[in-house]
């Protein structure tokens, strides 16, 4: 059965490679992408959750002469699999309308899914690395389709960096323990193991766009096809965090680091990096004018929270981190898809050129609105529970540096949320000639919003889902009922919030219902007495340099960021390269002299 | 039935018969190459089943006579060289002289791989080198001639170094048989031994594109037509790096391995760094080849210590031979014209930077595993660095070629696709690991 | 729905609350059209302190109840004033300052001023004088409050009722201006 | 039990709103007295809201614009439920300070949505300033909040209030500093001068509220009244023991605590008004610099002080 899933995915991938029509390819992909989801649903029974059973086995050994690939599902991989694979059918549904022609999106997306399925099932390092690289390769081709130079270059460079870091890490671990199979590995707190863990975590962090290694994200997120970017931000970044989770808690690397450094300094550093990532990502996000870049920086920021949770490592923090990962997978996919839908209708990306789209595309706007509420962690959405757990974890561990930074990043999220809401969907109605997005697109987005609504009142369901993952990783879970989460120091009752809200809503609701009003056009607006028509030639949409005052204050400190560092590195490397090519003078006599010098050097070296 | 001799004798004979068959020379050459490729498959099957073949020619016994030795790795290399030569020849549109030279070049490269005699090796070197000089010049423009002349000057300097090295060995051991030399190498005067090693390394190193002996590489690759550049990257260079591997095994001293490692690292670094900012496509690919040769040498330098070295070297050779040859084949156009060349370019680049499902992935995997066995972390750092550099310039290369450009020349891109698919096949079926394991022991 | 329209509560009762509340909370739009605006600061500040009566300046017409026409109106300004007036929420009141809005005042023969404001907008209270002193202004406010209390300040209802006529008059004034522009 | 709870909730929100609206009038009176004016009557807030809610016409810019009304009023009342008022815990055991911080964002975001939907550029600029102001004052404020949380080892406001029974937080040296910082943050939260630029009436036509009139504006005024109570209560709960003076649970204790709470929030509000009347306006980037440079530094000093106290 498991072979069948791989086979179906690969056959579908090869089939779509030769299909010109985007519609047919989307249908094939939709069906194929449901296969891993079926398996994931089936495995829910293994981890204490009642579900249908289709009889998918949960492990498989795949062997060709000499090399055996061990595949089996673990509880934590399952948790990540749920979030990654539930994204796919809606994304393909969205793609049905998005792609008229099959430009290579579908086949390589299916290869990518195969690879991700392999990564999550891998139970030895060779399998893990093989599928990791397959993922890097297929996602690179998906980036390559975008034809953008910076995106292609940065993505390939960072993918290779991540791959090589992981490979060296695996090699180091292998040299210490002599085996590649996860269950056989026994770690000691020595220098090699510790550096292996750090290298591998860094390698996985590249895919998760953690701060100093994030430089590819803004370029790739802003140029590749939206459905792919939705999966890249929603799904693939989580695969990176799966790797980190695996290294730190399943192996368990965090304990080794604790033993080696005699303190939690290494994991604390991870938490600090995550917090700084959240903070700076937020600052960069709200100053961005390109909608997709804004979402990219926002992704970097939101993913930073997960790293904070991993760094703190308590049961509270881990629950928060996994919850945040789950939420982020869904709301960010919705936002990227909504951005795609807006671009599909208007063909614009700049927030300063958009505006008023929400009046014409109300359903797209509603999906995006809900996603934004989840992103900004408004307490009536599931987004808040995750952040709340993280804040609680940070405060109860008395992290005086991380906590305020995380909180202020959370406030910053409101700034860019408003930028999206106002700049794209509200404000001046500038797009009279557009229609609502096609039905499959809307259906895709609303399917992705659905989980966010389910976990709104019942965050306990989510904690149940991650229960066995946390227990298996030796972290332990926190006490909760379906709608109350309790920590040592405080509790959060979603039901109380909802009921309280309903009670106090009554007066507001009365005014809301009983108001008698006249709907006025956008043009009937107070502009210091001037009629709107007088301003016909000026944009009334305040979206250019929206956060200019604060940008002037902050930007001088952020100008020398990671991206400019990498650019400088690239330029310096270019100069070294140019210098190194001076060796090749193009003169045969020089080359002959080189040969003779080389000969004498090695003779000298060998004899003396 | 199948003997390695045929693989050398048939093309050699055919090459000399070429002037007689002027009309149908292309079909003739192609069928000879195809025959050779089939022979090499049969040879490989035989070697794989029955173990290494040692064959003497004309009845003289080993220390004296001409001697062929075929083990798994050399059979595989012969297979690759002949297979790619066959595919590559499809693109040839020149006269019979070209076909003749091409056959000679292939003969020489095959001979280097199959021979068990050091002087024979030199002869085959000369054959393939002389053929290559002429092949590079066959494009008949200024750059081609310039490249050819540089290649020729350096090649002949290299040959003379090699010859001196052989002379020293012969003067000491009175033997030219590789196995014989390997067995008795310790009885040599150490200074003479080192001297001969240095001469040989320098001599072969010129062909094997080692730094700093590789001055001819960028010019020759740039000047040559695309199919010849492609030939250079799977033929002579691979054969000569294999020759260096044999040299290392013969001398089998820790110092020589160490030296090879350093030379390999230097070659890798210089090649990759020089390619980093190179805007000219063919020169960039040439520098990149230099880097890859360094990588192969690093892998070979670990032969003594770890069993991962040979699979690593083998997979990198396959990956590089197939990917780089196909990239050279589709180069020289204004961008990837059509879908085939686009995917060939992608697959080639992904193979070179070591991503599955290409052979390059396994090369990288085994190399790093070998390095981990040896705990040489500095080398690992160098490889990380060079991999990232390589990724950057290949990404730029891919982007530059994205333009719609001219319409696709299927005559070039289909052979290229076939070549690169070899890398994919090897990557998907890592069963070669078993076959390549435990070979090349003298 | 009718809570505020008489379905649940009698219209008159509701209206009475409304009148009492709006009498004590007159917010004026901060839109100064002429020189009379200079008389407003003394009215606002500590000497006369109109906030005693719950009055205060407001930033936009959406929030305001009283429109002050503080002096003469040109045709060009009239267009804005009408716009502002229409953006205000009913019930809304107009107070005109000085003699200019009444009969043109010292600009009686100007080609470009509006001579009689009540042709274009319903004026609830006039304040005479050129300019009226702050006491006069205060007095006008008190008068307006009294009128509201008695339910006599019905300018906004008049404007709704004779909307067409007001529009026609306004249009004539604007057209006059346009023809003049075209002629020049 | 539930009905009783709901009744108490309704009662307390009504009282809180009543107090808030009263404070709006009182505030204007105080400001007028500082200006040497008579000022409006103290019940002016009620009159204003009554007038706005009985306006005869109303305009709307669409359903998102109307949401502002729902969101802002509901959000602020919901926040008040999670704050202990005079030691009475409505729902404050069901959430904590983080929840309150985020609940305070609901009305702000709803308000911002409505302002955005109105399409008025002034409104958008005003919201931008309000959001930047929020970003500015939140940093020093959350740092002081974390100092409190670390000191009392809880993040629940109700528990922080309970733990101040013996000694109000402001009597502990580091929290004097923290309270001073939080008070300046309060100034920004209440949008009083020198941090009132988001709603500057002469500059950007009162910013976010530019298009609101009639019943919408009435709802927003109720929201404004709510913010006064919510923020001052938050301050009182955090630093002044929530106004709890008697702990025996008798009716007298309820009344006394309520009275003390009322006096304390009145004092805090008066202090804020006095600062308001004596200062001109900061530009938005000046406010940002003020909060992130000086205020945040002071707050951090108090946080480290507390941290060292807790650790030793």
Q: Looking at the structure, do residues A600 and A451 belong to the same domain, yes or no?
A: no
Put simply, the answer to whether A404 touches D118 (Cβ < 8 Å) is no
| pLDDT tens-digit readout, B47-86 | 877 777 777 765 555 555 567 778 778 888 888 899 999 9
Q: What is the pLDDT of residue A443?
A: 92
Q: Looking at the structure, do residues A223 and A306 belong to the same domain, yes or no?
A: yes
Mean pLDDT for all residues in chain C: 80
Q: What is the pLDDT of residue B273?
A: 92
Matching residue, tokens 């994991």? A267
Put simply, the answer to whether D285 touches A412 (Cβ < 8 Å) is no
Q: What is the pLDDT of residue C184?
A: 42
Could you write out the DSSP letters of every residue in D275-297? HHHH--PPPHHHHHHIIIIIIHH
Which DSSP state fits A438?
P
pLDDT band, very low/low/confident/very high, at B441 (cuts 50, 70, 90): very low
Closest CA to B264 of B289, B293, B233: B293
| pLDDT tens-digit readout, D218-261 | 888 888 899 999 999 999 988 888 888 777 778 888 888 889 88
Closest CA to D227 of D89, D93, D113, D134: D134
Positions in chain A whose pLDDT score sits under 70: 50-55, 63-67, 532-539
The CA radius of gyration of chain B, in Å to the nearest whole number, is 20
Residue C9 lies in a domain: no
Is A28 in contact with A19 (CB distance < 8 Å)?
A: yes
pLDDT at B438 over 70: no
Domain count, chain A: 2
Buried b (16+ CB within 10 A) or exposed e, C96-123: bbbbbbbebbebeeeeebbbebbebbbb
Q: What residues in D contact A398, CB-CB < 8 Å?
A: 150, 307, 310
Q: What residues in D contact A490, CB-CB < 8 Å?
A: 95-96, 154-156, 159
Q: Is cis: bond before A535, omega within 30 of 0?
A: no
Q: Is cis: bond before C131, omega within 30 of 0?
A: yes
> Which residues on adjacent β-strands are paired with residue A101?
A21
Q: Looking at the structure, do residues A457 and A578 belong to the same domain, yes or no?
A: no
Residue C94 lies in a domain: yes
Give me the residue from D134, D215, D219 closest to A411, CB to CB. Answer: D134
Is D83 in contact with D233 (CB distance < 8 Å)?
A: yes
| pLDDT tens-digit readout, D69-83 | 888 888 888 888 888
Q: Residue C144: which domain range?
A: 26-183
Q: Is cis: bond before B212, omega within 30 of 0?
A: yes
Closest CA to D189 of D264, D97, D90, D287: D287
Domain boundary among A500, A532, A553: A500
Put simply, the answer to whether A583 touches B270 (Cβ < 8 Å) is yes
Is D77 in contact with D13 (CB distance < 8 Å)?
A: yes
pLDDT band, very low/low/confident/very high, at C76 (cuts 50, 70, 90): confident
How, if at all, do strands B53-56 and B67-70 pair?
Answer: antiparallel
pLDDT at D108 over 90: no
Residue C137 lies in a domain: yes
ipTM higher than threshold 0.85: yes
Q: What residues in A contact C31, CB-CB < 8 Å?
A: 529
Over range D23-41, report the average pLDDT: 89
Q: What residues in D contact A351, CB-CB < 8 Å?
A: none
If one compares B64 and B128, the residue with the highest pLDDT of the two is: B128
Over range D204-209, report the average pLDDT: 80
Q: What is the pLDDT of residue A505?
A: 81
pLDDT at B437 over 50: no
pLDDT band, very low/low/confident/very high, at C2 (cuts 50, 70, 90): very low
Q: How far is Cα A168 from Cα B367, in angstroms, rounded to an integer?
A: 10
Put simply, the answer to whether A591 touches B394 (Cβ < 8 Å) is no
**If you count them, how many residues does chain C have?**
184
pLDDT at B440 over 80: no
Q: Among all residues of chain A, which has the CA nearest to that of C80?
A: A529
Mean pLDDT for all residues in chain A: 86
Residue A544 lies in a domain: no
Domain limits of chain B?
Answer: 253-442
% of chain D with per-residue pLDDT over 70: 100
Q: What is the pLDDT of residue B434?
A: 47
Residue A404 lies in a domain: yes
Q: How far is Cα A153 from Cα A554, in angstroms, rounded to an integer?
A: 29
If one compares D292 and B92, the residue with the highest pLDDT of the two is: D292
CATH of the domain at C131: 3.40.50.12280
Is A195 in contact with A261 (CB distance < 8 Å)?
A: no
pLDDT at C178 over 80: no
pLDDT band, very low/low/confident/very high, at D192 (cuts 50, 70, 90): confident
Residue C115 lies in a domain: yes
Chain A to chain D Cβ contacts (< 8 Å)? 242
Q: How far is Cα B228 from Cα B273, in angstroms, rounded to an integer?
A: 25
Residue C73 lies in a domain: yes
Q: What is the pLDDT of residue B439?
A: 36
Domain boundary among A474, A500, A526: A500
Q: Looking at the structure, do residues A453 and A576 belong to the same domain, yes or no?
A: no
Put simply, the answer to whether D91 touches A422 (Cβ < 8 Å) is no
Q: What residues in A contact B431, CB-CB < 8 Å?
A: 64-66
| pLDDT tens-digit readout, C136-170 | 888 888 898 888 888 888 888 888 888 888 888 88
For chains A and D, having 3+ Cβ pairs within 8 Å is answered yes
Mean pLDDT for all residues in chain B: 84
| pLDDT tens-digit readout, C100-138 | 888 888 888 888 888 888 888 888 888 888 888 888 888
Residue C1 lies in a domain: no
Q: Residue A576: which domain range?
A: 561-607
């Amino acid at each position: 059965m498991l072979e069948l899933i791989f086979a179906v995915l690969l056959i579908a991938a090869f089939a779509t490679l030769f299909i010109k029509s985007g519609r047919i390819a989307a249908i094939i992909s939709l069906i194929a992408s449901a296969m891993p989801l079926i398996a994931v649903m089936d495995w829910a029974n293994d981890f204490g959750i009642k579900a249908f059973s289709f009889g998918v086995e949960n492990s498989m050994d795949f062997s060709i002469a000499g090399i055996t690939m061990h595949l089996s599902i673990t509880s934590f991989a399952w948790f990540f699999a749920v979030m990654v694979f539930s994204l796919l059918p809606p994304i393909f549904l969205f793609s049905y309308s998005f792609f008229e022609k099959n430009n290579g999106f579908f086949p390589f997306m299916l290869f990518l899914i195969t690879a991700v399925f392999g990564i999550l099932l891998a139970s030895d390092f060779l399998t893990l690395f093989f599928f990791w690289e397959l993922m890097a390769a297929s996602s690179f081709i998906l980036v390559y389709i975008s034809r953008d130079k910076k995106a292609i270059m940065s993505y390939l460079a960072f993918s290779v960096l991540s791959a090589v870091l992981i490979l060296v890490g695996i090699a180091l671990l292998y040299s210490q323990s002599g085996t590649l199979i996860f269950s056989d590995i026994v770690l000691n707190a020595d220098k090699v193991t510790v550096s292996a863990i750090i290298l591998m975590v860094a390698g996985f962090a590249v895919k998760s766009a953690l701060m100093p290694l994030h430089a590819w994200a803004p370029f790739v997120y802003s140029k590749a096809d939206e459905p792919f970017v939705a999966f890249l931000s929603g799904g693939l970044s989580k695969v990176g965090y799966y790797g980190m989770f695996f290294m730190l808690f399943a192996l368990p690397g965090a304990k080794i680091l604790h033993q080696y450094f005699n303190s939690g300094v290494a994991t604390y550093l991870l938490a600090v990096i995550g917090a700084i990532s959240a903070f700076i990502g937020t600052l960069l996000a709200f100053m961005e004018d390109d909608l997709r870049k804004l979402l990219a920086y926002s992704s970097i920021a939101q993913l930073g929270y997960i790293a904070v949770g991993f760094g703190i490592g308590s049961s509270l923090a881990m629950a928060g981190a996994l919850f945040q990962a789950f939420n982020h997978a869904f709301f960010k996919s919705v936002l990227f898809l909504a951005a795609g839908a807006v671009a599909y209708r208007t063909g614009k990306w700049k927030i300063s050129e958009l505006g008023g789209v929400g009046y014409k595309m109300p359903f797209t706007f509603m999906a995006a609105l809900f996603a934004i509420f989840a992103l900004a962690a408004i307490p009536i959405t599931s987004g808040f529970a995750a952040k709340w757990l993280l804040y609680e974890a940070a405060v109860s561990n008395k992290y005086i540096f991380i906590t305020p930074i995380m909180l202020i990043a959370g406030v910053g999220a409101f700034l860019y949320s408003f930028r999206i809401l106002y700049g794209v969907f509200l404000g001046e109605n500038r797009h009279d000639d557009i229609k609502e997005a096609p039905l499959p697109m809307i259906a895709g987005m609303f399917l992705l919003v659905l989980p966010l609504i389910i976990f709104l009142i019942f965050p306990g369901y989510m904690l149940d889902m991650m229960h066995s993952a946390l227990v298996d990783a030796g972290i332990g879970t926190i006490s909760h009922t379906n709608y109350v989460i309790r920590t040592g120091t405080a509790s959060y009752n979603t039901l109380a919030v909802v009921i309280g809200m309903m009670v106090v809503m009554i007066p507001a609701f009365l005014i809301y219902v009983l108001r008698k009003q006249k709907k006025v056009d956008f043009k009937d607006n107070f502009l210091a007495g001037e009629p709107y028509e007088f301003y016909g030639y000026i944009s009334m949409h305040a979206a250019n340099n929206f956060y200019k005052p604060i940008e002037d204050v902050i930007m001088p400190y952020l100008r020398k960021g990671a991206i400019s560092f990498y650019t400088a590195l690239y330029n310096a490397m270019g100069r070294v390269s140019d210098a190194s090519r001076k060796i090749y003078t193009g003169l045969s006599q020089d080359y002959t002299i080189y040969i003779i010098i080389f000969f004498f050097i090695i003779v000298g070296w060998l004899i003396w | 039935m199948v003997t390695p001799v045929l693989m050398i004798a048939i093309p050699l004979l055919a090459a000399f018969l070429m002037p007689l068959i002027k009309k149908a020379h292309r079909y003739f050459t192609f069928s000879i190459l195809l025959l050779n490729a089939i022979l090499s498959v049969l040879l490989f099957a035989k070697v794989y089943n029955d173990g290494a073949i040692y064959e003497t020619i004309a009845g003289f016994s080993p220390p004296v006579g001409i001697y062929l030795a075929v083990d798994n790795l050399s059979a595989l290399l012969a297979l690759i060289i002949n297979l790619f030569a066959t595919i590559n020849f499809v693109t040839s549109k020149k006269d019979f002289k070209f076909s003749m030279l091409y056959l000679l070049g292939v003969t020489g490269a095959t001979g280097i791989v199959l021979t068990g005699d050091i002087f024979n090796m030199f002869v085959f070197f000369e054959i393939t080198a002389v053929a290559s000089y002429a092949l590079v010049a066959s494009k008949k423009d200024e750059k081609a001639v310039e490249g050819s002349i540089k290649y020729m000057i350096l090649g002949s300097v290299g040959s003379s170094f090699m010859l001196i090295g052989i002379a020293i060995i012969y003067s000491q051991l009175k033997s030219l048989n590789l196995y014989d030399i390997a067995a008795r190498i310790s009885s040599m005067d150490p200074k003479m031994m080192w001297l001969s090693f240095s001469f040989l390394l320098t001599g072969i190193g010129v062909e094997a594109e080692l730094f700093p002996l590789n001055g001819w590489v960028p010019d020759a690759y740039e000047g040559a037509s695309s199919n010849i550049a492609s030939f250079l990257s799977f033929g002579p260079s691979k054969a000569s790096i294999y020759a260096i591997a044999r040299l290392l095994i013969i001398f089998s001293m820790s110092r020589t391995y160490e030296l090879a490692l350093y030379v390999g690292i230097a070659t890798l670094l210089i090649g990759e760094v020089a390619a980093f900012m190179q805007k000219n496509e063919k020169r960039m690919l040439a520098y990149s080849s230099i880097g890859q040769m360094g990588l192969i040498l690093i892998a070979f330098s670990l032969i003594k210590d770890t069993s991962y070295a040979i699979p690593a070297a083998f997979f990198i050779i396959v990956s590089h031979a197939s990917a780089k040859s196909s990239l050279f084949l589709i180069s020289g156009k204004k961008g990837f014209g059509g879908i085939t060349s686009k995917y060939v370019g992608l697959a080639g680049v992904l193979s070179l930077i070591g991503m599955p499902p290409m052979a390059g992935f396994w090369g990288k995997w085994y190399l790093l595993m070998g390095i981990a066995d040896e705990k040489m972390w500095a080398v690992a750092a160098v490889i990380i660095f060079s991999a990232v550099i390589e990724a950057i310039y290949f990404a730029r290369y891919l982007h530059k070629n994205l333009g719609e450009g001219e319409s696709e020349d299927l005559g070039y891109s289909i052979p290229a696709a076939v070549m690169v698919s070899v890398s994919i096949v090897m990557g998907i079926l890592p069963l070669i690991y078993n076959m390549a394991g435990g070979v090349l022991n003298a | 729905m009718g809570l505020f329209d008489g379905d649940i509560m009698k219209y008159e009762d509701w209206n009475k609350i409304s009148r009492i509340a709006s009498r004590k909370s007159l917010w004026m739009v901060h839109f100064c059209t002429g020189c009379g605006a200079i008389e407003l600061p003394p009215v606002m500040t500590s000497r006369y302190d109109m906030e005693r009566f719950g009055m205060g300046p407001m930033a936009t017409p959406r929030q305001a109840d009283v429109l002050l026409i503080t002096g003469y109106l040109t045709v060009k300004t009239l267009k804005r004033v009408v716009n502002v007036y229409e953006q205000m929420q009913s019930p809304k009141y107009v107070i005109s300052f000085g003699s200019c809005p009444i009969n043109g005042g010292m600009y009686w023969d100007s080609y470009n001023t509006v001579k009689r404001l009540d042709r274009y907008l319903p004026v609830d209270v006039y304040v005479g004088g050129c300019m009226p002193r702050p006491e006069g202004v205060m007095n006008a406010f008190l008068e307006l409050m009294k009128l509201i209390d008695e339910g006599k300040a019905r300018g906004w209802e008049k404007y709704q009722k004779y909307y067409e006529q007001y529009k026609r008059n306004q249009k004539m004034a604007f057209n006059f201006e346009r023809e003049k522009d075209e002629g020049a | 039990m539930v009905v009783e709870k709901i009744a108490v909730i309704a009662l307390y929100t009504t009282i809180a709103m009543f107090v808030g609206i009263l404070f709006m009038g009182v505030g204007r009176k105080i400001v007028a007295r500082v200006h040497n004016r008579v000022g409006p009557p103290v019940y002016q807030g009620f009159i204003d809201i009554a007038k706005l809610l009985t306006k005869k016409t109303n305009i709307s810019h669409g359903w998102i614009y109307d949401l502002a009304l729902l969101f802002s009023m509901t959000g602020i009342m919901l926040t008040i439920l999670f704050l202990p008022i005079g030691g009475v815990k409505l729902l404050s055991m069901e959430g904590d300070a983080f929840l309150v911080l985020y609940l305070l964002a609901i009305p702000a975001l709803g308000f911002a949505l409505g302002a955005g939907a109105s399409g008025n550029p002034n409104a958008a600029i005003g919201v931008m300033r309000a959001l930047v102001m929020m970003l500015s004052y939140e940093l020093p404020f959350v740092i002081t909040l974390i100092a409190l949380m670390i000191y009392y080892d809880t993040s629940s406001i109700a528990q922080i209030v309970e733990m101040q029974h013996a000694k109000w937080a402001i009597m502990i040296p580091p929290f004097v500093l923290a309270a001073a910082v939080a008070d300046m943050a309060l100034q920004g939260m209440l949008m009083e001068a020198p941090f009132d630029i988001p709603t500057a009436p002469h500059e950007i036509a009162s910013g976010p509220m530019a298009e609101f009139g009639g019943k919408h504006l009435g709802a927003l005024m109720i929201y404004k009244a709510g913010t006064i109570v919510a923020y001052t209560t938050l301050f009182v709960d955090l630093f002044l023991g929530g106004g709890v003076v008697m702990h025996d649970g008798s009716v007298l204790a309820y009344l006394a605590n309520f009275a003390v709470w009322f006096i304390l929030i009145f004092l805090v509000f008066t202090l804020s008004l006095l600062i308001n009347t004596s200062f001109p306006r900061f530009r938005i980037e000046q406010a940002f610099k003020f909060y992130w440079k000086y205020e945040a530094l002071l707050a951090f000093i108090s946080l480290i002080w507390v941290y060292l106290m807790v650790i030793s």
